[in-house]
């Protein structure tokens, strides 16, 4: 499989990125690690006229600013995140999630910004269509769905592993563009539309990630289920962050974010509420996980049926909650 022809520009600064994105508009595509973009180009899913390579941009080291927030550059590699002592201390949930992405080689090359800007995926879309399919599906600009014949819209799912972790940590992102830099809560960055899953224009780029200081008493855990372990996109992921009362045993607030179940990451809000104000116990974890599996209807994807994924979701959330209970800082 070959890459289609394209023009290439190596960026030297975020300002230059903004200028060139403005000049080329939708004809250009940013590339960071290329671990998602180039496979899609090889499959013929994308044919940008110009590639703007961000690998020449300086990579900011993770830092904690005056108000205790952790700031990460979008170009930080996932391997770098997973081994960075500051990230492991201030946001171990993110380090854990980053370590679950792909293989060592993928993590060394892949970036945080690229993971956040990952496209939605579908077994029928992430394929070379030369032989298999004659008619374009919704995601390829057509008007049919191969996953659900007769379906009215695209049902590709969002599978990036670091994103549920970042949402559970309350992260926001900086987005640079012609109008300057705007900051939005990461949770609001995902539209829920599988065809246009990201709230970003072709002339903008994600520049940084800001994670609020960790609560003094609390704990976090990440769970990922995939058939072949790491070197595979998730069937389902769950990222749990609990804030605890001063007794270290009662949950005062919970955030549970689930990935790979729909075109955007989903919060399990009823399951979060079920934990609030209660003492942690195996029964409570089971109840909360059951509620989550009741409130979220996973889309079937990559050969997994919806009932199977619902069961996986319940198991992964229960496991994540059990793991948090063992890690609570007080």
Ligand X SMILES: Cc1cc2nc3c(=O)[nH]c(=O)nc-3n(C[C@H](O)[C@H](O)[C@H](O)COP(=O)(O)OP(=O)(O)OC[C@H]3O[C@@H](n4cnc5c(N)ncnc54)[C@H](O)[C@@H]3O)c2cc1C
Give contact residues for ligand X (rule: CB under 6 A): 29-37, 39, 74, 78, 101-102, 106, 109-111, 113-115, 117-118, 159-161, 205-206, 231-233
As given in the structure block, the two tokens for residue 34 are 């290329």
CA dihedral 327, 81, 36, 106 (to 10 degrees): -90
Q: Judged by CB, which is closer to ligand X: 30, or 251?
A: 30
Q: Where are the alpha helices (H) located in the chain, listed in sequence order?
A: 14-24, 37-42, 78-83, 85-90, 92-99, 104-109, 112-116, 129-132, 162-168, 269-275, 282-295, 306-327
Q: Are strands 50-53 and 7-10 parallel, antiparallel or unpaired?
A: parallel
Write down the least CB distance from residue 109 to ligand X, Å: 6
Q: Judged by CB, which is closer to ligand X: 206, or 239?
A: 206
Write down the least CB distance from residue 87 to ligand X, Å: 15
Q: Judged by CB, which is closer to ligand X: 26, or 68?
A: 26
| Residue pair 203/18 in contact by the 8 Å Cβ criterion | yes
Q: Judged by CB, which is closer to ligand X: 84, or 161?
A: 161
Helix (H, G, I), strand (E, B) or coil at 36: coil
Q: Judged by CB, which is closer to ligand X: 205, or 313?
A: 205
Sequence-distant (6+) residues with CB within 8 A of 79 are 98, 104, 107, 108
Write down the least CB distance from residue 253 to ligand X, Å: 26
Write down the least CB distance from residue 306 to ligand X, Å: 21
| Residue pair 241/254 in contact by the 8 Å Cβ criterion | yes
Write down the least CB distance from residue 182 to ligand X, Å: 13
* Dist CA 213 CA 68 (whole Å): 5
Write down the least CB distance from residue 290 to ligand X, Å: 27
As given in the structure block, the two tokens for residue 89 are 């201390």
Q: Which residue is nearest to ligand X (CB)?
A: 114
As given in the structure block, the two tokens for residue 101 are 């992405």
Write down the least CB distance from residue 38 to ligand X, Å: 7
Q: Judged by CB, which is closer to ligand X: 31, or 313?
A: 31
Q: Judged by CB, which is closer to ligand X: 161, or 272?
A: 161
Q: Residue 303: exposed, middle, or buried by beta-carbon count in 10 A (0-12, 13-18, 19+)? A: exposed
The separation between CA 23 and the C-alpha centre of its own chain, rounded to angstroms, equals 29
| Residue pair 95/84 in contact by the 8 Å Cβ criterion | yes
């Amino acid at each position: 499989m070959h890459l289609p022809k394209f023009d290439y520009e190596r960026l030297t600064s975020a300002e230059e990125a903004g200028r060139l994105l403005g000049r080329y508009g939708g004809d250009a595509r940013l590339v960071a690690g290329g671990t998602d973009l180039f496979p899609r180009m090889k499959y013929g899913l994308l044919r940008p006229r110009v590639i703007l390579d961000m690998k020449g941009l300086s990579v900011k080291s993770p830092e904690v600013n005056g108000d205790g927030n952790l700031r990460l550059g979008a170009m930080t590699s996932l391997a770098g995140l997973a081994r960075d002592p500051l990230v492991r201390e201030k946001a171990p949930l993110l380090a854990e999630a980053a370590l679950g992405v792909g293989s060592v080689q993928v993590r060394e090359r892949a970036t945080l910004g690229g993971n956040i800007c990952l496209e939605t995926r579908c077994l029928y879309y992430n394929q070379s269509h030369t032989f298999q399919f004659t008619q374009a599906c919704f995601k390829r600009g057509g008007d049919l769905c191969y996953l659900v014949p007769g379906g009215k819209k695209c049902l590709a799912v969002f599978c990036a592993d670091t994103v549920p972790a970042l949402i559970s940590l309350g992260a926001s992102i900086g987005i640079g563009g012609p109008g300057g830099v705007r900051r939005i809560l990461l949770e609001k960055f995902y539209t829920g539309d599988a065809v246009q899953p990201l709230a970003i224009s072709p002339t903008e780029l994600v520049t940084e990630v800001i994670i609020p200081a960790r609560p003094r008493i609390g704990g976090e855990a990440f769970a990922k289920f995939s058939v072949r372990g790491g070197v595979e996109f998730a069937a389902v992921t769950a990222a749990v962050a609990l804030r605890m009362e001063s007794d270290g045993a009662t949950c005062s607030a919970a955030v549970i974010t689930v990935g790979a179940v729909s075109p955007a990451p989903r919060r399990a809000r009823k399951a979060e509420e079920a934990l609030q104000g209660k003492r942690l116990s195996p029964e409570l974890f089971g109840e909360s996980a059951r509620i989550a599996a009741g409130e979220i209807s996973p889309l079937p994807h990559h050969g997994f049926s919806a009932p199977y994924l619902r069961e996986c979701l319940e198991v992964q959330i229960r496991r994540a909650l059990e793991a948090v209970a063992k890690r609570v800082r007080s």
